[in-house]
Structure 1
């Protein structure tokens, strides 16, 4: 099992942060790695600490919790979101942001326990998931379902609300979000190089500097050059190089 699930607590009220920190202490797998008192600070701390989960207050001045949730979707490591608020009216919007859960203030310990259980279930380690996961990626094509061998997929690209799965012989299209496809390909040699691109590292041929710290990636079997955001370059090189 994965040792710890790291948490960042975001709330503009210090006492609320302290209360939630106290309530999370009995959970052995939960580690609070930081706190933030504003939306701007939350984004910076998320970038710095790369927590697994944000416990995120909805009502904050200037940059509220919904704005923070949207901002962190652009980061290299996107955390799970648990919204917290004194007002139940935000529930619908919270789940539109794909929140893993929604807590009402004042915190109820039983509800918090259910939330932690949900987090632990969602963040099971990759190897544990892969044991029972299928070996092929299912893609709906018109009225059929085609099963793709992940080793035959060169890269996946999100464009105009369509996710394109580029194989060695054919390009497939699906309405599934890129993040959903990425989760299904966990355990295989895929790596996110850009908010819109996921590549199979087995096909990487050349990495070339472009501009402003960004790079271009060339894959075997295609002349197309893929953009690598500068936020991903360092980790990509770690993955590729001996």
Structure 2
């Protein structure tokens, strides 16, 4: 797990970022702080791998905190998260890993997470115990599916759907939890909202702005592939 601390004097911004990061199974928000001083205390106490820093904060700014963090024995990677684009030059002078603008864009955050993963070479695909069956629901009936039967899973509002060639079922698990349970099988997160069974992929087609779509066997729908995952997906499909 990559340990994350969020430092921002706006509670809503902290909560939003923590929620977005919760969708990534290898990112763990271990602490939140509402000021630079509190962020420094948390960093000393928790030794996080990454700190998401607001810049405009009273007393100790994010830039001042970033400078202070460089004196620690374990220096965390810094990602500045701010509504002010004018600070970008100062951020990169401090060797920040990335620079996120508010309001947060999920595609941009995906790119940031990939940079963090590359930095720490996280073992996000460590082998885990194989799940033999998953409980899903349809018309108030509980059905048990093997992973091999599943084409893809996706998030629809507050519901998680698990789809086979015949129909889509409801699951009580989040997409992140399904991804963890199916990690030992041939499933791949093509997009923040989709998890695909690679064994059931029929074709990969260019779409918009560097993104792609995958078509599943049996014509069960076109699944979006974020441009950040296209290269890795092609490698996995061509093994």
Q: Same fold (TM over 0.5)?
A: yes
Q: 1:183 aligns with which of 156, 173, 180?
A: 180
Normalising by structure 1, report the TM-score: 0.55
Matched-pair contact (CA < 8 Å) for 1:137–1:185? no
Q: Distance in 2 between matches of 1:145 and 1:108?
A: 42
CA RMSD of aligned residues (A): 3.5
Q: What is aligned with 1:55? A: 4
Q: 2:160 aligns with which of 159, 163, 167?
A: 163
Q: Does residue 233 of structure 1 match 2:230?
A: yes
Q: What is aligned with 1:22? A: none
Question: Mind listing any 5+ residue stretches in structure 2 that lack a counterpart?
Answer: 36-40, 48-122
Q: 1:80 aligns with which of 28, 38, 41?
A: 28
Q: 2:18 aligns with which of 58, 69, 75?
A: 69
- Work out the number of aligned pairs and report it: 159
Residues 134, 155 of structure 1: CA spacing in aligned structure 2 closer, same or farther, 3 A cutoff? closer
| Superposition pairs of residues 1-242 of structure 1, within 5 angstroms | 52-59=1-8, 65-72=14-21, 79-85=27-33, 107=45, 126-127=126-127, 129-130=128-129, 133-141=130-138, 144-222=141-219, 224-242=221-239
Normalising by structure 2, report the TM-score: 0.55
Question: Mind listing any 5+ residue stretches in structure 1 that lack a counterpart?
Answer: 1-51, 88-102, 110-122
Q: Distance in 2 between matches of 1:55 and 1:125?
A: 19
